[in-house]
Amino acid sequence: MLSNVIIGNRTRLLAAGLLLGAAILVIAALTSSAPATAASGNCAGKLIESRNMKVGGKKVGELDVYYNKASGKNCARMNHAGSTWGKKLTTRVWIGICSEKKPGGTVCHYDASTDGVQKGKFRYFAGPVSTKVSAAGHCIASSGYLWIGGQRHVVSTQPWVGHCG
C-alpha cells in the first residue's frame, strides 16, 4: 500500500512539473517580441512613410515616420531588421520641421530646438523621437542611420523635404 502512495505522489509531481513547464512555454511565446510587433509601437498617430534600408540588396533597417493629427506632431523611429535585428549597433534617428512649405527641396532649414533626435547603441531600434511642436503648415524631413562593420548607412524620407501641410 505504501508503494502505491509513493507512485501516486511521483505521478502527481511529474504531471504538475509538466503543466508548469507548458505554462512557462506559453507565457514566453505570448510575451516575446517578433520584429514586426516590436517595430510597430510607440509613435502616436498614423504611419505616413516607411523606407527600407538595404545593404548588399538585403533589408537591414527601416525608417518609419508617423503623423499625429490631434497634436500636429510627427514622430520617427529607426528599426533594425534582418541581420541587424537583436545586434547592438550604433543607431540614430532624427526628425525635423523644415521652414519650407512645399515638398521636393534638397535642403531642410530647421530649428534644432524643435526637432527630435536619438543616437546610441541599440539592439532593435532608435526612437521614437517626435517634433517638439506642431508641424502644421510646414514640411518635415527625417533620417535614420545604422553603423554596420564600421560603415554608416543612411535612409531618409523621400523626397527629403516632404509631408507638407
Q: What is the pLDDT along the chain (165 residues), one digit of tens a residue?
A: 445 445 555 555 444 544 444 444 334 343 333 343 344 458 999 999 999 999 999 999 999 999 999 999 999 999 999 999 999 999 999 999 999 999 998 999 999 999 999 999 999 999 999 999 999 999 999 999 999 999 999 999 999 999 998
The whole-number pLDDT of residue 8 equals 57
The whole-number pLDDT of residue 42 equals 84
5 vs 145: CA distance, rounded Å: 65
Residue-wise burial string across 91-130, b where 16 or more C-beta atoms lie within 10 A, e elsewhere: bbbbbbbbebeebebeebebeeebbbebeeebebbbbbbb
The whole-number pLDDT of residue 47 equals 95
89 vs 80: CA distance, rounded Å: 9
Q: What is the pTM of this model?
A: 0.74
Distances (CA, A) of 96 to 6, 133, 135, 160: 71, 10, 9, 11
